[in-house]
A and B are shown apart, each in its own frame.
Chain A
Amino acid sequence: MIDSSRHHGNHRRRLCVNGQAHDVDIPDNTTLAVVLRDMLALTGTKVACNQAACGACTVLLDGRPVFSCHLLAAQVGDRPVRTVEALADGMTLHPLQAAFIEHDALQCGFCTPGMLMAIMGAGSGMADRDDVVRAISGNLCRCGAYPHIIDAVLSCRGRAAP
Chain B
Amino acid sequence: MITDPSPSLDPWPQGALRVVGRRVTRASATDKVTGRTCFASDVALPGMAHAVVLRAAIPRGRVLGVDAAAAMTVPGVIHIAGPFDFPLPPGTAYSLGPSFRPRPVIDAEVRFVGEEIGAVVAETPVAARLAARLVQFDYAPQPAVLTMAAALAPDAPRLAADGNIVGGGDVLSAGDLEGGIAASDVVVEACYATEAQHHNVLEPHGCVAAWDAGTLIMWDSSQGCHAIRERLAAVFELPLKRVRVISEHVGGGFGSKITLKPYHVIAAQLARLVGRPIRLFTERRDEFIASHHRAPTERTIWLGATSAGRLTFIAQRVSGQAGPSALFARNAAGAANGLRLHGCPNVRAEIRRVLTNTQAPIPFRGPTAAEDIFCLEQAIDEMAHALAMDPLDFHRRNIADIEPFTRLPYAGNGLRACYDRGAAAFGWNWRPPQDADDSVLARGIGMGAVAYDGTLYEDSQATVAAHGDGRIEVCVGLTEIGCGADTVFAQIAAEAFEVPVDLLHTRFGDTHATPRSIDSTNHSRTTTVVGPAVRAAAQALRALLMERGARLLQTEAAHVMQRGAAVARRDDPGVAVTFGVIAAAAGGVLSATRSREAAPDGVFQAMFGAHFVEVEVDRRTGRVRVLRAVCAHDAGRVVNPLLAESQVQGGFLQGMGMALFEERVTDPRGGHLLNATMWAYRMPGVADTPASIRFVDGSVPDISNSLGVKGIGEPPLIAAGAAIANAIFNACGVRIRSYPITPDKVLAALAGRSRA
Contacts and interface: CB of A to CB of B under 8 A. Distances in A.
Interface of A: 1-7, 27, 29-30, 37-38, 41-46, 48-54, 56, 83-85, 87-88, 93, 97, 100-102, 104, 106-113, 116, 129, 132-133, 136-137, 139-150
A144 B693 CA distance: 11
Contacts of B123: 1-4
Interface in B649-696: 649-654, 677-679, 683-687, 689, 691-693
Interface string B223-267: 000000000000000000000000001111110000000000000
Chief secondary structure at chain A's binding surface: loop
Contact of B28 (A30, A51, A109): A109
B284 A44 contact: no
Contact of B251 (A46, A116, A150): A46
B126 A108 contact: no
Interface stretch (B32-40, B107-115, B138-146): B32-40
B570 interface: no
Interface residues of B, number: 66
Contacts of B41: 46
A4 B687 CA distance: 42
B185 interface: no
A146 B678 contact: no
B649 A137 contact: no
B653 A146 contact: yes
Given A48-B251, A108-B249, A147-B693, A101 B653 contact: no
Contacts of B653: 144, 146
Interface stretch (B187-195, B200-208, B344-352, B405-413): B200-208
Contacts of A129: 691
Nearest to B254: A142
Contacts of B203: 46, 48, 108, 110
B42 interface: yes
Contacts of B201: 108, 110, 142
Contact of A83 (B35, B122, B677): B35
A154 to B, nearest CB: 12
21 contacts: A2-B123, A7-B74, A48-B204, A48-B251, A48-B284, A56-B202, A97-B30, A97-B33, A101-B29, A101-B30, A107-B646, A108-B203, A108-B481, A109-B29, A109-B37, A142-B202, A144-B684, A144-B689, A147-B692, A148-B649, A150-B689
B202 A48 contact: yes
Nearest to B76: A4
Given A112-B33, A137-B685, A143-B252, A104 B645 contact: yes
Contact of B35 (A43, A53, A141): A43
A69 B204 CA distance: 15
Nearest to A37: B42
A1, A54, A83 pick with most chain B CB within 10 angstroms: A54
Smallest CB-CB A-B distances: 8 pairs:
A44-B35, A4-B76, A110-B251, A109-B32, A144-B650, A144-B653, A107-B482, A108-B482
B677 A51 contact: yes
Given A46-B203, A140-B678, A149-B686, A84 B482 contact: no
Contacts of A147: 649, 689, 692-693
B30, B481, B685, B687 pick with most chain A CB within 10 angstroms: B685
Given A4-B74, A144-B684, A49 B678 contact: yes
B212 interface: no
A84 B37 CA distance: 12
Given A4-B124, A104-B26, 5 more contacts: A43-B35, A93-B34, A100-B33, A137-B687, A146-B689
A80 to B, nearest CB: 18
Contacts of A101: 25-26, 29-30, 33
A108 B646 CA distance: 11
A104 B641 CA distance: 11
Contacts of A56: 202
B726 to A, nearest CB: 21
Nearest to B128: A4
Nearest to B691: A129
A150 B33 contact: no
A136 B127 contact: no
Contacts of B483: 107
B74 A84 contact: no
B556 interface: no
Contacts, number: 190
B596 to A, nearest CB: 25
A31 to B, nearest CB: 10
A150 B653 CA distance: 14
A110 B252 contact: yes
B642 interface: yes
Nearest to B640: A104
B437 interface: no
Contacts of B204: 48
A32 to B, nearest CB: 14
Contacts of A137: 685-687
B44 interface: yes
A93 B32 CA distance: 12
Nearest to A134: B687
Nearest to B25: A101
Contacts of B654: 142, 144
Nearest to A2: B75
Interface in B109-138: 122-124, 126-127, 130
A85 B204 CA distance: 22
B283 interface: yes
A113 B691 CA distance: 24
Contacts of B77: 4
Nearest to B480: A108
Contact of A85 (B34, B252, B684): B34
Interface string B9-36: 0000000000000000110111011111
A139 to B, nearest CB: 7
Contact of A87 (B34, B284, B691): B34
B126 A84 contact: no
A106 B32 CA distance: 8
Contact of B38 (A6, A37, A43, A111): A43
A111 B483 CA distance: 15
B686 A106 contact: no
A40 to B, nearest CB: 12
B35 A100 contact: no
Nearest to B677: A51
Contacts of B126: 4-5, 27, 29-30
Given A108-B250, A133-B687, A49 B39 contact: no
B314 to A, nearest CB: 31
B28, B126, B249, B642 pick with most chain A CB within 10 angstroms: B126
B289 interface: no
B29 A108 contact: no
Contacts of A111: 202
A146 B202 contact: no
B720 to A, nearest CB: 11
B501 to A, nearest CB: 15
B33 A144 contact: no
Contacts of B624: none
B384 interface: no
B202 A104 contact: no
Nearest to A94: B33
A75 B42 CA distance: 25
Nearest to B650: A144
A48, A50, A88, A142 pick with most chain B CB within 10 angstroms: A142
B521 to A, nearest CB: 11
A88 B26 contact: no
Interface string B469-511: 0000000000001110000000000000000000000000000
A5 B124 contact: yes
Given A4-B124, A41-B44, A110-B39, A100 B29 contact: yes
